[in-house]
Structure 1
Amino acid sequence: MAVIRDTSRRRQEISALVRERGSVQVTTLAERYSVSMQTIRKDLHFLAKKGIAERSYGGAISADAVNVATEPPVESKRAINVEEKARIGAIAAAMVVAGDSVVLDSGTTTLQIAYHLPDDESITVLTNDLDILWALARKERINVVMLGGALRRRNRALYGAQTERALTDLHVDKLFLGIDGFDIERGITTHFEPEAMLNRKMVKAAGQIIAVGDRSKFGKVCLHRILNVEEIHDLVTDAPEADGMQAAAERLGFRLHLA
């Protein structure tokens, strides 16, 4: 009976953890409860059958996080993990060197990259984000190219065929790709289909793909996939406790930079 009670209590606690954090990992849970990884896998399978979680690489994610349909407005995004995004932006900006051409995807984290970029006339930045354009316009020397298109007011960025055509014949050194959803198995995803289409064009134009995002994006899966995680070259994030991320980086071949 003690074993049954321990199992029930552990599963209740794991259920609370996955709802609180959005995702959990097998290795961390096995260490936390001093049980085998096989036992934890059985626990996660039980939670999946109950509709509480869905299995993912090395663990499980909250069922509430899968197919996240509602995109918060940009004003709400700006208020989330402000200090963490600033640190991510500083680290990402330091990856840009003299002579680079880069694309800054739309987003509040990529906006922080714009703030931290050096004002160097040998650096060229392309973007579809009006807030990023404004941040860069206040610098005196950096070269800025605005990708035209139709305005989406929800995130103050431009999309559509015109935006995509602007990238067709271009090659840039680096793409800094913002994250709405990041899951090892389901890839990097976004809420808005035209954004996913534009992001895939950006990926094709870039020599180095650098994903940037704070811890709130991990374990979330939005409707539209941009690319698989193994297609990125670097990930800049603020989550040193992101369970299994270093192991995933080594397995899938991307570099992990922690803010």
Structure 2
Amino acid sequence: MTTPNRVTRDTSERRRQITTMIKSRGSVQVAPLSDMFGVSMQTIRKDLHYLEMHGIAARAYGGAIAAEVVNISEAPIEAKQISHTGEKERIGRMAAALVEPGDSIMLDSGTTALQIARFLPDEEDITIVTNDFGVLGALSQKRHLKIVMLGGELRRKNMAFYGAQTLASLEDLRLDKLFLGVDGFDIERGITTHFEPEAQLNRKMVQAARRVIAVTDSSKFGKVCLHRIIDISEIDDLITDSDAPDYIQHPENGLNFRLHLA
């Protein structure tokens, strides 16, 4: 029979080892830790919650990230609208040029998506799906595009819709292209965002699209937000500006996406 003192020592040692792994690797996942220590995933989740409460880690999809590398604060939409406007405009114009007659596309929420909407050709055989209120406003100025708005609960911080209704409305959709906005873009930790329902919706969008095109200005590279959307390997294209770091621009980096510099 295991004594309480032994259980306490085992728990403390396990958490010490997990802390060391988080600090050395930057992140950990629940399932591998469960196998490594021979305990349940629920026990590992309790460990990660304990480390989060002590400022060591921040919980993320399927695991945890070192607290010092996580960009927790989300800028209000008013700040985003005046940040890197020239880069976003060039990215939006280049992204819109990838839309072909007959395409059905999805525009994620965000100020870069708004620029894409501005430059889309106004043609009757193009269908646009979005959950972003601002994008809807820009698209409504075009007379011929077919527009599909995803419903749900309005999140006023970024003026976009989320929730179970939004997810359900994607179930039967199959689209040609998704233009996916980015809050954080890190080679190891993937594409991340601040808002968990947005991460859930974005993953659903990825599943519904035949081609995933990430759109971001260069300020997002190297940043990690709390909630993971997808790995970098899951995108087909990346549209960014010419200030992107060398490891993004050089073809010998081993990344599989097609790079477009605006």
TM-score, length-normalised on structure 2? 0.73
- After superposition, the Cα gap between the structure-2 partners of 1:135 and 1:249, relative to the gap in structure 1 and judged at 3 Å, is farther
Whether 2:153 is the aligned partner of 1:150: answer: yes
The answer for the alignment partner of 1:224 in structure 2 is 227
The answer for the alignment partner of 2:6 in structure 1 is none
Report how far residue 242 of structure 1 moved: 1.4
Q: C-alpha offsets along residues 154-212 of structure 1, whole Å, 9 cap, x if unaligned? A: 00000000000010111000000000000001000000000000000000000000000
Q: Higher RCO, 1 or 2 (CA under 8 Å, sep at least 6)?
A: 1
1:165 equivalent among 165, 168, 184:
168
1:233 equivalent among 236, 239, 242:
236
The answer for the alignment partner of 2:137 in structure 1 is 134
Whether 2:96 is the aligned partner of 1:93: answer: yes
Q: C-alpha offsets along residues 83-120 of structure 1, whole Å, 9 cap, x if unaligned? A: 11000000000000000000000000010000000000
1:65–1:221 CA contact under 8 A, matched in 2: no
The answer for the alignment partner of 1:37 in structure 2 is none
Report how far residue 65 of structure 1 moved: 7.4
Distance 2:183 2:138 in 1: 22
Report how far residue 64 of structure 1 moved: 9.0
The answer for the alignment partner of 1:60 in structure 2 is none
Distance 1:207 1:158 in 2: 23
The answer for the alignment partner of 1:53 in structure 2 is none
2:218–2:243 CA contact under 8 A, matched in 1: no
- After superposition, the Cα gap between the structure-2 partners of 1:156 and 1:107, relative to the gap in structure 1 and judged at 3 Å, is same
Moved over 3 A (4+): 247-250
1:249–1:255 CA contact under 8 A, matched in 2: no
Distance 1:192 1:240 in 2: 27
3-state SS in 2 of match to 1:113: helix
Aligned pairs (5 A) from 1:50-69: 66-69=69-72
Distance 1:232 1:249 in 2: 17
3-state SS in 2 of match to 1:252: coil
The answer for the alignment partner of 1:113 in structure 2 is 116
1:147–1:158 CA contact under 8 A, matched in 2: yes
Number of residue pairs aligned between Structure 1 and Structure 2 = 197
Indicate the larger mover: 63-72 or 127-136.
63-72
Indicate the larger mover: 66-75 or 114-123.
66-75
- After superposition, the Cα gap between the structure-2 partners of 1:71 and 1:233, relative to the gap in structure 1 and judged at 3 Å, is same
TM-score, length-normalised on structure 1? 0.74
3-state SS in 2 of match to 1:97: coil
Aligned pairs (5 A) from 1:1-259: 66-247=69-250, 251-259=254-262
Residue identity opposite 2:71 in structure 1: V
**Any gaps of 5 or more consecutive residues in structure 1?**
1-62
